[in-house]
Amino acid sequence: MKRLLLAALAVLSCQLSAFSSSAAEAKRPNILWLIGEDFSPHLGCYGTKEVWTPNLDKLAGEGMRFTRAFTTAPVCSASRSAFMTGMYQTSIGAHHHRSHRDDGYLLPAGVKVATDRFREAGYFTANLVELPTSFGFKGSGKTDWNFTYEGKPFDGRGWDELRGKQPFYAQINFQETHRKFRAPAKADPAKVELPPIYPDHPVARKDWAEYLDAASELDRKVGVILQQLDADGLADNTMVLFMGDHGQAHVRGKQFVYDDGLGVPLIIRWPKHFPAPRHFKPGTVSGQLVCSLDFTATSLALAGVKKPAAMQGRVFLGEQSGPPRQYVFGARDRCDETMFRFRTVRDARWRYIKNFMPERPFLQANAYKEAQYPVWNLIKELGAAGKLTDWQKNFYLAPGMPPEELFDMDADPHSMKNLADSTRPEHQAALKRLRAELENWIEESNDQGRIPEPPEVTARKGATKDAAPGDQPKGKKPKAKQ
């Protein structure tokens, strides 16, 4: 009897040891980012019609869905430079679209891409391009940073590497919602809810339907990824974060700092094998303000990495989380050959925009948009024929743009009524408060957009005009190495 008891205790001891070892190995979650390119919150779970997104809708039901998530720039290279470092693109000299590709420009001292920080914490990092052949597609592998990276930013690129390399941080980039749209047709152009900022015309309806079809195709591919994650036994150990790299590829979306250009979907599902972090409530919807820098800071924190003191992203889940943001900020500078300088701040209700180049028209020449955006050219044609609404004519065809814009996003979700000149006390109070917040942010974040690009750079980029001098920086100088 005694021998049997000792044997049983020995077996139990081995089992407990194995469990303890397994728990030690799995004490930190894997992290998988799914990044849709040029994508606003146009999913079924966000209330969009004529889009089929059962996989992302299910992911939202199992996780948390955020309704006020924003990137810091409305174009890929500036936005990706920001969220991959947790720093505003304007603070690290990465604010001009696809700049510093050939001049050896390095990040400022102390600033690192997130994958370096994950790697230092013992994570395997991957930018997944090579997916199982059964998928029938590959990841786009997009990085698109406005700085020079010395070394290897990711350890791997293949899905098959993940099972033997845990914990891992991996990202998959999906190009479906980036133009040109090539997805199978599903949405009925006559039934789509076309925003009133665009002409109600067959060309515009078809274009919007094709964008929604691209979202449906994106969802199908996400479903394949999630199914394989489960089949490989990784789902219960992996946090999944779905996001857009910036807003929709439409005329007043991408490259502009309205909600259309900065607002993105954010869905986070927490793995079953780990206790839920503080503030995470599965199956819920959050209206908390978060920005893309926070996606980075929070993912690192959930991997056990202490947020660097200088990182501008904030942690919003887990033990390191602090008070919710009251404001999120955004910026747009030169995109390709087109010069603008916009700065914006948003709180839960209001969006304020400061335009430092109000003499330039909205439809300032841009070869990319003229080639890729059918509605861009449609607006010009209908304007010449006198077939635009008063709002469309006054906005798109005006010789310049307002120096300031203020929108009540609760009452005016399409940002059509500029309240900057309103005399109502409520509007004036919001204007003055947000103007002051933006001015403080520009100064405190060392906004390097205050320093114009050298004329030879803008000329080389084919800029339509020289950059306006703007206000000059006070005191601080860029720390980035040349």
Dump pLDDT digits (tens) for 333-348.
999 999 999 999 999 9
pLDDT at 5: 53
Q: Are residues 284 and 372 in the same domain?
A: no
Query: Do 154 and 298 fall into the same domain?
Result: yes
What do you get for the CA distance between the two ends of the chain, in Å? 78
Kindly state whether residues 155 and 231 are assigned to the same domain.
yes
Q: Which two tokens stand for residue 443?
A: 């100064």
Domain assignment of residue 204, yes or no: yes
The answer as to whether 281 is a domain residue is yes
Q: Are residues 358 and 298 both part of a single domain? A: no
What pairs with residue 474 in β-bridges? none
**Number of domains the chain is built from:** 2
pLDDT of the residue at 473: 36
| 471 lies in some domain | no
Query: Residue 24 has what pLDDT?
Result: 40
Asked if residue 280 and residue 175 are part of one domain, the reply reads: yes
Domain contains 475: no
Does residue 437 belong to any structural domain of this protein? yes
pLDDT attached to residue 84 = 98
Do 393 and 199 contact (CB within 8 A), yes or no? Answer: no
**DSSP label at residue 335:** B
Same domain flag for 310 and 394: no
Shared domain check, 301 and 338: no
Give the domain range for residue 238.
Answer: 28-315
CA gyration radius for the chain?
24
Decide if 327 is inside a domain.
Answer: no
Domain co-membership, 148 together with 36: yes
pLDDT in tens, 265-314: 999 999 999 999 999 999 999 999 999 999 999 999 999 999 999 999 99
> Which residues are within 8 A (CB) of 119 and not within 5 positions of it... i.e. 6 or more apart?
125, 155
Residue 480: inside a domain: no
* Count of beta carbons in the 10 Å neighbourhood of residue 442: 20
Residue 420 and residue 290 in one domain: no
Q: Name which of 107, 77, 111 is nearest 95 in CA terms.
A: 77
Q: What is the residue whose two structure tokens read 């009251």? A: 326
CATH of the domain at 245: 3.40.720.10
Q: What is the pairing mode between strands 350-355 and 404-408?
A: antiparallel
The answer to whether 31 and 303 are in contact (CB under 8 A) is: yes
- Tell me if residue 322 falls in helix, strand or coil: coil
Residue where a domain stops, chosen among 287, 315, 343: 315
Within this chain, do residues 85 and 136 fall inside the same structural domain, yes or no? yes
pLDDT by residue for the chain (482 residues), tens digit each?
Answer: 455 454 544 544 444 443 333 344 448 999 999 999 999 999 999 999 999 999 999 999 999 999 999 999 999 999 999 999 999 999 999 999 999 877 889 999 999 999 999 999 999 999 999 999 999 999 999 999 999 999 999 999 999 999 999 999 999 999 999 999 999 999 999 999 999 999 999 999 999 999 999 999 999 999 999 999 999 999 999 999 999 999 999 999 999 999 999 999 999 999 999 999 999 999 999 999 999 999 999 999 999 999 999 999 999 999 999 999 999 999 999 999 999 999 999 999 999 999 999 999 999 999 999 999 999 999 999 999 999 999 999 999 999 999 999 999 999 999 999 999 999 999 999 999 999 999 999 999 999 999 988 888 887 777 765 444 433 333 343 333 33
139 and 215 in a single domain? The answer is: yes
Which pLDDT value is given to residue 135? 97
Is residue 455 one of the residues assigned to a domain? yes
- Are 48 and 126 in the same domain? yes
